[in-house]
Structure 1
Amino acid sequence: MRRNWGARLRHVTLDGLRAVVLENERLRVTAVPGKGGDVVEFLHKPTDTDLVWLSPQGLRDPRDHLQGAADDVAQFVDHYEGGWQEVFPNGGAPSEYRGARLAQHGEVAGLPWSCEVVADREEEVAVRLAVRTRRLPYRMERVLRLRSGTAALEVESSATNDSPVPLHAMWGQHLVYGRPFLRPGARIRLPEGVRVIPHGSAIGPDGRRRVRPGGPWWWPLVPAADGAETDLSVVQEPGAPSDIVYLTGFGPEGWYEISGDIGMRVTWDATLLPYLWMWQELGASTGYPWWGRAYTLGLEPFSSMPTDGLAAAVANGTALALGPHETKRLRWRVEVVHQ
C-alpha cells in the first residue's frame, strides 16, 4: 500500500521523463533521474512556496532535441529547466581537457541517472542516483534524503575516478532561486570574513555589470561599476545588471541564508567546495538564452573558479584533483529556517 503520511516517496513521469517525489509533512521535493538527477521542486508546504527557479522554457528531454546547430553551450542551455543541478566535471564555459571536449557545465547534468530506493519508512525516505560520465572516466552517486518532521533535504554525493590515471575536475552545486520565493529586497547572509572576487568581464549582452572589476573586496559592500557602492546582500529589482562574482573565505563548513517571506539555509563542506558562485540574471539580458524572461539568483558552492571551464581551473590551481581510483565525498543540506 502506498503510504500517505510521514515520510513517503513515489515514482512519477514528469513531461515524459522519469522522476521521483520525496515528501513529508513540511516539504515536497521532486528530482528527475531521467535528466541529470535535477531537483525541479523544493516546495515548502505550509506556505505553498517553491524555492527553485523554473525556466519559462520548461522541462525538456535532451533525447528529443534534434534541431539546431551543434553548440557546446546550447547543449546545456537548450534543456535548462531551471531547478538544481549537479555540475561535473566541467564548470562554466566549454573547455578541452586532455583531448576531451567538454560542453558547458560538464556531462552529468544532461545524462540519465539510475535511481534506487535505499530507505522507505515513515521516519525517512531516500533514493540513490548514479551515473557514469562518457568523455572522462568518472562515476558519480548522490543520495537524496528526507526525514519525517523536518524541512530539510540532505544530500550525500560522491565522485570516483574510475581509471589508473590522475585526473582533474570541477564540481559544483548549481542552486538557483526564483519566484515566488525570490523577490526584490530579500537578504543574503554569509559568514564574516568572506571576500568577493569579480568576474573578469561583464556577462550581460549590453556590457553592464553590477560590481566593479578588480578586488578582491569584502562582503557585502563592494565598489559598483557605476562608481558608487552596492550591497551584494540585497536582491535587486527586475532589470538590474547581470553579473557573476566568486565568494571565498569560508571555514570548514560553508553556509548561507536567504530571507524573504520565508527563509532558507544551505550548508556544505567548504574544504571540498571552497568557492560560492553568485550569479545574477534579473531580466537585463534580452538576447539568447533569456530574452528578458529570467528573474533568478544562483548561489552555487563550487570547487573551482572562474566560469571559464576545466582547463582554466587547472591552469590557475583551483581544479579538484582525483588520484587513480580515488573517491571524493560531499555532504550538503538545504533547509527552510524561517516560517
Structure 2
Amino acid sequence: MRRPETKNRGARVTRADINGMRCLFIENSLIRLRINLDLGADIVEFVYKPSDVDAMWRSPLPEIPFSRAAGPVKTEQGFLYYYEGGWQELFPHASRAEDAYGAALPMHGEAWSLSWEYRIQKDTPEEVVVAMWCSTRMLPFMLLRRLRIQEGEAFVTLEERVENTGTEHVSFIWGHHPAFGEPFLEEGCLLSASGDTLYDGKNETPWPPPEDGIVFTRIPPKSSGKGAMVYILDLKEGLYEITNPRRQLTFRMTWDKEVFPYIWVWQEFGSNKGYPWFGRAYAMAVEPVSSLPFARSEGGRMLSLAGGASIETALTAGFVA
C-alpha cells in the first residue's frame, strides 16, 4: 500500500482534531496558524516561528465545542462562555445583542459560533490556499474566507466575500476581532494606528492620545488593573501595528478602509474582577469594523446588500521582524 504523501517543509496545511473539534494548521517556514473550524473558523494561534511567539491571546478558559442544540447565544455572558481568545469574525452583527428584521441577533453575530466548511484549493510547497465558509441563520448571508499563505512570507492574506442569499435588502455589521496576548503582548509594547480621532462613546479627542489618556498606546504591566473600550475614527488608511520593542517584532494588519472605516480597541489588563476571567486576562483586541456599536439602533453607518448582491474585500496580517 502506498503511503499518503505529506509535506514537512514549505507552505502546507494539516487537518487535526483538538478537543473534539476540527482544526486546520496552515503554515510555512515563518508562521503557523491554527484555525478552529467548529468554532467560527477562529484563528486560535498565529505563531512567528523564528522566535516561537504566538501573537494571539489565549483565554484562561479552555476551548470547548459550541452547543448547537442550545440555539443562538443571546447574551454577552453566552459569548464569553465560549470565547477562547484568538481572532473571531464579527458577522453579521457586532457588539451587544440586538433585534433586527424580527431576529434576536447574538452578541458579535453568528459567524463565530458556527461550524464552517472548508476546501483546500491549492497545496504546494510554494503556496497554500484554503477556502472556508458558513451560512448564517438569523440573517440570509453566506460568508466566504479564502486564506492564502506563501512560503517565505510572514503574512497571511484573507480574501473575503459576503453574499445576500435572500430576496430582501438587508443591512449588517462586519468586522474582525483579533485579540493579542502573551507571550507577544507585554509591558512596553506599542500600538500605532492610522486614524486622527479617538471616540470613547461620548466624546471625540485627537488620536494618538497622551500617555495618561483613556487608552494605552504603550501597554502597561499586568498589575496595572487597567482597561478601556474605545474607537479610532477618520482613518487615513487601513493599517495598525503592535510592536514589541524587546523582541524587535511587530504585528501589522492592513485592510480596505472603505469597508472597515473604524478600529475598535478593547484593552483588558486585569481590570475584570469577576466573571469570566477573575483578573486573569491580559489582552488587547484591535479590530477593523464596518460600523460603530449600536449603529443599527442609532442610525449609524452600516453595510447593506440587496438580495443576490455581494461584497468582496481583503485583509493582510503578519509579522515584521
Structure 2 length-normalised TM: 0.92
**Could you tell me which residue of structure 1 aligns to residue 200 of structure 2?**
198
**Could you tell me which residue of structure 1 aligns to residue 239 of structure 2?**
255
Separation (CA, whole Å) in 2 of partners of 1:235 and 1:156: 31
Describe the superposition over 1:40-94 as per-residue Cα deviations: whole angstroms up to 9, x where unpaired: 010101000000001011211012887xxx8522331111100101110110100
Separation (CA, whole Å) in 2 of partners of 1:234 and 1:139: 39
**Could you tell me which residue of structure 2 aligns to residue 206 of structure 1?**
none
Aligned match of 1:177 in 167, 176, 180? 180
Describe the superposition over 1:217-270 as per-residue Cα deviations: whole angstroms up to 9, x where unpaired: 111125x9xxx646732112223422111101113x400111102111100111
Contact 1:220–1:232 (CA under 8 A) maintained in structure 2: no
- Pairwise CA RMSD of aligned residues? 1.7
- The one-letter code sitting in structure 2 at the alignment partner of 1:44 is Y
- The one-letter code sitting in structure 1 at the alignment partner of 2:198 is V
% identical equivalent positions: 32
**Could you tell me which residue of structure 2 aligns to residue 10 of structure 1?**
14
Separation (CA, whole Å) in 2 of partners of 1:242 and 1:236: 10
Q: Does 1:155 align with 2:155?
A: no
Q: Does 1:123 align with 2:107?
A: no
Separation (CA, whole Å) in 2 of partners of 1:180 and 1:82: 14
Separation (CA, whole Å) in 2 of partners of 1:62 and 1:108: 12
Q: Does 1:40 align with 2:49?
A: no
Q: SS at the partner of 2:22?
A: strand
Q: Does 1:219 align with 2:203?
A: no
Q: How does 1:83-162 map to 2 (within 5 A)?
A: 83-162=86-165
- The one-letter code sitting in structure 1 at the alignment partner of 2:310 is T
- The one-letter code sitting in structure 2 at the alignment partner of 1:12 is A
Contact 1:144–1:153 (CA under 8 A) maintained in structure 2: yes
Contact 2:228–2:266 (CA under 8 A) maintained in structure 1: yes
> Which aligned segments of 4 or more residues in structure 1 are displaced greater than 6 angstroms?
none
Which segments of 5 or more consecutive residues in structure 2 lack a partner in the other structure?
A: none
Aligned match of 1:288 in 254, 265, 275? 275
- The one-letter code sitting in structure 1 at the alignment partner of 2:19 is D
Separation (CA, whole Å) in 2 of partners of 1:179 and 1:44: 13
Separation (CA, whole Å) in 2 of partners of 1:80 and 1:123: 34
Describe the superposition over 1:95-146 as per-residue Cα deviations: whole angstroms up to 9, x where unpaired: 0002100111011100000011011011101211111001111111101111
Separation (CA, whole Å) in 1 of partners of 2:35 and 2:148: 12
- The one-letter code sitting in structure 1 at the alignment partner of 2:197 is R
Contact 1:96–1:311 (CA under 8 A) maintained in structure 2: no
Separation (CA, whole Å) in 2 of partners of 1:229 and 1:77: 28
Contact 1:72–1:102 (CA under 8 A) maintained in structure 2: no
